[in-house]
Chain A
Amino acid sequence: MSTVDWKNYTPVLIPDIKNLDQIDVYRDNGGYQALKTVLTDSEKWPDRKSVIEEVKAANIRGRGGAGFNAGLKWSFMPPSDGGPRYLACNGDESEPGTFKDRALFEYNPHLFVEGALIGAYAIEATAIYVYIRGEYKYFIDKVQKAIDDAYANGLIGKNILGTDFSCDFYVVAGAGAYICGEETSMLESIEGKRGYPRVKPPFPAQKGLWGRPTTINNVETLAHVPAVINKGADWFTSIGAKNHPGPILYGISGHVNNPGVYELPTGVPVLDLIHEVAGGMRNGKKLKALIPGGSSTPVVRADQLEGITMDSESLRSVGTMLGTAGMVVMDEDTDMVEMLWRISKFYHHESCGQCTPCRDGTGWLQKILKKIKDGEGEIKDLDLLLDITTQMEGRTICALADAAAWPVRHTITRFRDEFEARCKKSVFAVA
C-alpha cells in the first residue's frame, strides 16, 4: 500500500505567513497572480474553456462533501445569453464536526476571493455570492474587508485588471439554519426566501439564482483554483490520493491532544492523523470510534481503522464517506447512545420541514433515542429505529433525511451491544 508522503507537504491554502489576510501581504506572496494570468495571458489561457479544462483535469473534487469534479460542474453552464449568471459560494458549513472554511476566512480570505473570481471568469458569471453562516460574524466581516480591499485594488468590479471582464462580489450572511447549506436551499436563502431545498430538475446550472444559470461551489473548492492555475493540473493530481487528489483541510476535533484545522494531502492514514498530526489521544485513552467527515457520515469503530486512509475509496471499504473531512475522534469513555441522541437532536432541530419523511422522521428518531438514553427503551425500539431510517432514506427532496438517517442506522448496527445494554430487559425469556 502506497502511503501519501504527508510529512514533507508544504501548505498552500493556509501557509504559515503572518498577516496573509491583508491584501498587501497576500499580493507580496504571489496573490492574485493566477487571476492576472488568466485574464491577461492570452497565450497560456486563450479562452474561458481552457481554464475550465485545466480545472477539470486537476480533478478538484468538491470539498463540501459530495466530491463532484469542480471543472466538470463548471462545464455544465449553458452558453451565455447576455443575461446575468451567477457563481454562488457555499460557506455555510454548519455540519457538526466541520470547521475548515473558517480557517480560510480567517487566515487567507483573498485566496478564496481569487479562486472565486477565476471561477466566475470561467463560467462567465456576472456576480458572485458567498453565503456564510450567520454565526461566523467575525469571519463575515473579514471576508467583507477582503472583498472591499479587492474592489479598491481594481480586482473586483467593472473591467477587472483593465480587461473587459466585470464581476461583482456580495457577502450574504445566513441566519443559523443548517438546511441553508444545502445548495438549492442556499439559493432560496440568498434570494431572501425561506430556505426550502428546491426540486431538481431544473438544476441550478439551468435555473439557479433568480431563475438564471448558477454554479455552486464550496469555499474550499474555489480556494484550490489559484494553485491549480499557477502550478498546473499535474501538480495538483500528483498530491494525495489518486482518485481524490490535492491538498485538503482536515478539521480534527474530539478527544485528541491538538484539535484544529490541518492542511495536508488527501489520503493520509486516519491513524496518522489522529496520533501524529493531532498529537494523539487525550489523556492517553484508547480510540473507540471515528466520524470521518462531519456528523452525517457513518461512524466507524476503532478496530476497523487500521490502514484506512482519508479518501473516498478507502473510507467506502469500511462503510463510510470522506464528507467534509471534519473528523470527530471519540475515546473509550464516549457514550455512543448519548452521542447518537445528540446528533439526532441536531437533525431534528435543523430539518426544514418541507418533506414528510424528514419532518416527522427526524423528530421520531430523536424521541426514541431520548427514551433509550433515559433507560426507558426496549429492544424493539432499536429495530423500530432501523425501520424508520429505511423509511426516510432516499425519499426526500434533499439529502438531509439521509444525513439524519445514516448516523442512526450505522451507529446502532456498529455499536448495537451498547444500545441493547441501555434498554430495559425483555420480559420474554429467550429460548
Chain B
Amino acid sequence: MPEIFIDGQRYEFEGEHRVLQFIQDLGKEVPFFCYHPAMSAPANCRQCFVKAGQYVKDRETGEYELDEEGNRTIRWFPKLQTSCNLQMVDGMVIHTQETDEQVARAQKDTLEFLLINHPLDCPICDQAGECPLQIQTYKYGPEGSRFEVKKVHRPKRVRLGPRVILDAERCINCTRCVRFTDEISKSHQLTIVQRGDNNFPITAPGREFDDPYSLNTVDICPVGALTAADFRFKARVWEMNQTPSIDMTNGKGTNIDLWTRDNIVLRITPRYNKEVNDHWMPDEARTAYTLFNENRISRPLQKLDGEQVLSSWNNAYATLMEQLEEVKPAEVLLVGSPHASVEENYALAKFANLNGYRKPVFLRNEEKGKADGFLLTDDLAPNTNGCILLGFDELTPAEFSAEAEKAGLIILVHDDFISREVLTAGQLDGKYTVIFASNHTKTTKAADLVIPVTTAAEHAASYVNVEGRIQRTFRAKETKYNKRRLDMEMSEGRLDRYGTNFDNWVNEDNKIDCLPLWTFISNLTGYMGTEITLEDGRLIMSEIASTIDAFNGVSYAKMDENSGIQLDTEKVSKKVES
C-alpha cells in the first residue's frame, strides 16, 4: 500500500488524496484560509505551506536509497508547497509547522502579510470569536507588527444584496465567496474586482447579490468581510449557545444549528451532513429563526362570547374534556400535521385510539415549482413522510373540507388552513375547534381553544425528510417548565453557566408558557381517567420503534450517532416527491 510520512510518522493511504485534507482527517492541523473541502483549491492564501519531499528510490531495485549514516535520502521540492492542492504520492515526506522551523516561519510571514492591511477591528467585528484569521493569528502569527505605514482603504458597509453586507477592508481575498457562487450555487453573481491590495469581491455593476443561497458566503468567509444584514451587531458568538437542530421550512431536513442567547434564537447556520445538505442551507431557512421568537402563543387561549381571551392550563383541560364528552366519538376529527414531529403526531394517534376516535388524517403542504434540485423542495413541511409512515390518511383539501363539514369537534395541529384557503372561518362556525399551535395565525384566531405547544427549538423530537431520513432536534431554548441547568441535554453557554437569576441578562420574559403536545395529551388523559404516559421524545420514539414497523430499530442514540437514519421508504405507501 502507498505510504506517506508526515512529521516523521508513517501513514498508509489508498486512492487520491490532497495533503491538507489528509492531515485534517488525521485530526492534525495545518492552518489555511482559502481551502474549502467542498470547493476547488486555488492555493491563493499561501497559508497552508508545508515542506514536501520524496524518499529517493533506486529505480532498478525499488529499494530506498540510503545516505552515509544509513538514513533514507530525501529529495525536497525546491520551494515550500501549499498542502491544499498537493497530490499525495507514494513515499512522500511532509514536514508541517510542528517539526519544521522553515514552514512555521513561512506561515508566520503569510499571516504578517494578511494582517498588515486588515483593519484589526476585532472588538467590533461580528466574526470575532469564530474567526479563522483571529484564531490562526493567535496560534501561528507574529507577535506585534512591523507595519508602520498607512493601511489600504477599501469600501465599507457595502450592501451586496438584500441579506449580505461587505466590509472590503477586512477581506483577505480568499475567493471562497466567489467560488461558492461559481461552483455551488452556480449563480456566478460575485467576482473579485480591482488589483493587488485593492482587491475585493462584488457583484457586477447594477446587480444585486440575491442568490437564494447567498448567506452561505457569510459562513465560509474566513474573516468578517461578509456579514449577514440580519444578524450584524446582534450578539457576540461566545455569548450564544449552539444547539443542533433540523430545518422546519421545507422537506429537505437540512441540518442546522440554532444559536440562542437569553432564550431567543438569534441566528441559524447550517450543520455539516454529507447525506443531506453538505455544508449549505438556503437563505429562507435562516430567516425562519423569527418563528421561534416572535408572534408566539403563550398560555392557552379560549373563546368566550366570540372573543379570544387568555385562559389557564386547568381551564383548558377542563374545557376540552367537557367538549369531548358532548360529541359522539365518531364526530371527532383529529388532523395530524406534517409540520409537527413524529412524536407529536404519534401522541395524537394514541389519544384517538384510546378514546375510540377515528385515526388522525393529514394534508400535505406543497408549493409546486419550489424545488430547485438543491436544497429547496416543493414540500413546505418537515415531516410529511412521518405522517405517512404513521399510517395517517392523506386527504386532499376538498376531501378534508367535506370531512370538516360533517365533524362535530375538530382538533388541528399547527396547520394554518385558513391562510392556505383550505378552510374558511365560516366552515368552523358551530363546531368546537381546538388547535395545538406555537404561533398566532388566522386559524388560531378562529379557534375556540388554542393550546400553545413547543416548537422544534423547545423540544427534542424527530422528523422524516423527503428522502425518508429520520433526524431529530434538541432543546435549544427554555420554556416556563424546563431549566437549562437541570436538563442534561441542553447546551449551556457562558451566560447560563456563570449568570445567576439576578444578573440582568437572564430574562424570564423570553420563556414561552407552552407544553410539548404529548405532555398536554398525557395530562389530559390523566384527568379523563384513562392515563397514558408520554413523557419525552426519547421514550416516545422507543415506543414507536417497538410498535410501528416502519420505525423499527430507530432510537435517539442511533440517530445521534449517525446524524439521522435512512428509513426503508418502500414502506411509505405514497412516496413524497422531493
Contact = CB atoms under 8 A, between A and B. Distances in A.
Contacts of B106: 391, 395
A361 B150 contact: no
- Which size bracket describes the interface of A in this complex? 20 to 34
B96 interface: no
Contacts of A360: 113-114, 116-117, 197
Given A177-B195, A356-B172, A359-B173, A384 B110 contact: no
A145 interface: no
Contact of A357 (B43, B46, B150, B194): B46
A199 B195 CA distance: 18
A391 B110 CA distance: 8
Contacts of A361: 113
Interface string A199-233: 10000000000000000000000000000000000
Given A371-B149, A395-B80, A362 B46 contact: no
Interface string B467-502: 000000000000000000000000000000000000
Interface string A348-370: 11111111111111111001101
Contacts of B47: 356
Interface in B186-236: 191-192, 194-199
Contacts of A364: 113, 116, 147, 149
Given A353-B173, A357-B46, A199 B85 contact: yes
B172 A353 contact: no
Given A199-B43, A356-B44, A362 B196 contact: yes
B195 A368 contact: no
A189 to B, nearest CB: 13
A421 to B, nearest CB: 21
For A358, A370, A371, which residue has the most chain B Cβ atoms within 10 angstroms?
A: A358
B191 A355 contact: no
B173 A395 contact: no
Nearest to B33: A356
A363 B173 CA distance: 15
Contact of A363 (B46, B85, B112, B197): B197
Contacts of A370: 149
Interface string B71-110: 0000000111000010000000000000000000010011
Nearest to B192: A194
A395 B116 contact: no
A353 B112 CA distance: 16
Contacts of A359: 113, 173, 196-197, 199
A353 B46 contact: no
Interface string B166-180: 000000110000000
A375 to B, nearest CB: 15
Contacts of B46: 355-357, 395-396
Contacts of B149: 364, 367-368, 370-371
A355 B84 CA distance: 14
A353 B80 contact: no
A351 B197 contact: yes
Contacts of A279: none
A7 B530 CA distance: 116
A350 B195 CA distance: 7
Given A199-B85, A360-B116, A395-B46, A353 B110 contact: no
B146 interface: yes
Given A194-B192, A391-B109, A354 B44 contact: yes
A318 interface: no
Given A359-B173, A391-B112, A384 B49 contact: no
A362 B44 CA distance: 16
Interface string B33-70: 00000000111111101000000000000000000000
Nearest to B149: A367
Contact of A353 (B41, B79, B147, B197): B197
Interface in A162-211: 177, 179, 194, 196, 199
B402 interface: no
A394 interface: yes
A397 interface: yes
Nearest to B117: A360
A371 B149 CA distance: 8
A395 B110 contact: yes
B152 interface: yes
B108 to A, nearest CB: 9
* A contacts with B: majority SS: helix
Interface in A321-372: 348-364, 367-368, 370-371
B195 A352 contact: yes
B224 to A, nearest CB: 17
A179 B85 CA distance: 22
A52 to B, nearest CB: 28
Interface in A289-347: none
Contact of A349 (B42, B85, B147, B195): B195
For B113, B114, B147, which residue has the most chain A Cβ atoms within 10 angstroms?
A: B113
B113 A199 contact: no
A351 B196 contact: yes
B114 A363 contact: no
Contacts of A367: 149-150
Given A356-B114, A367-B149, A391-B112, A397 B196 contact: no
Given A354-B173, A357-B110, A199 B196 contact: no
Nearest to A366: B149
A353 B192 contact: yes
A357 B107 CA distance: 11
Nearest to B79: A394
Nearest to A358: B196
Contacts of A348: 196-197
Contacts of A362: 196-197
B146 A397 contact: no
Nearest to B85: A199
B233 to A, nearest CB: 28
Contacts of A384: 146
Nearest to A364: B116
Given A395-B46, A395-B80, A353 B152 contact: no
B157 to A, nearest CB: 22
Contacts of B44: 196, 354-356, 397
A117 B106 CA distance: 45
Interface string A23-62: 0000000000000000000000000000000000000000
Nearest to B198: A353
B191 A194 contact: yes
Given A357-B109, A357-B110, A357-B113, A397 B191 contact: no
A353 B191 CA distance: 13
Contacts of B110: 356-357, 395
A391 B109 CA distance: 6
A343 B198 CA distance: 19
Nearest to A390: B109
Contact of B42 (A199, A351, A358, A368): A199
A358 B150 CA distance: 17
B140 to A, nearest CB: 14
Contacts of B45: 355-356
A356 B195 contact: no
A348 B44 CA distance: 17
21 contacts: A194-B191, A199-B41, A348-B196, A351-B197, A352-B196, A353-B195, A353-B198, A355-B46, A356-B45, A356-B47, A356-B113, A357-B46, A357-B110, A358-B196, A360-B116, A360-B117, A363-B117, A363-B196, A384-B146, A391-B109, A395-B46
Given A356-B44, A363-B117, A363-B196, 18 more contacts: A194-B192, A196-B44, A199-B41, A199-B42, A199-B85, A351-B195, A353-B194, A353-B195, A354-B173, A355-B45, A355-B46, A360-B116, A363-B152, A367-B149, A384-B146, A391-B112, A391-B113, A394-B78
Interface of A: 177, 179, 194, 196, 199, 348-364, 367-368, 370-371, 384, 391, 394-397
Interface of B: 41-47, 49, 78-80, 85, 106, 109-110, 112-114, 116-117, 146-147, 149-150, 152, 172-173, 191-192, 194-199
